[in-house]
Amino acid sequence: MVQGTILFDVVVVGEWAHLRTCIIEKDVRIPPKVRIGFDRKQDPERFTVSPQGVVVVPKGYWF
């Protein structure tokens, strides 16, 4: 499920991944079953989160 998300070029989203209110920058592989944009405690530990709650996964991020 991808909802309210911007995917840049060369982004691969694994099966059953869930993305909500995200910007996924170039050259990122989202593994299967990963959830981004759902956990307000875990997301800021891994990514930049705007004051409005938009999660930014940086270019070339490795999971």
The helix/strand/coil state of 43 is helix
Residue 20 near residue 40 (C-beta atoms within 8 A): no
- The pTM score is 0.91
Rounded CA gap, 5 and 23, in Å? Answer: 6
What are the pLDDT digits (tens) for 8-60? Answer: 999 999 999 999 999 999 999 999 999 999 999 999 999 999 999 999 999 99
Q: Which residue, chain included where needed, has tokens 């995200």?
A: 22
Residue 38 near residue 21 (C-beta atoms within 8 A): no
Q: Where are the domains of the chain?
A: 2-57
* pLDDT for residue 54: 98
Q: Which CATH class is domain 2-57?
A: mainly beta
Going edge to edge, which strands form the sheet with 2-3?
Answer: 2-3, 18-20, 35-36
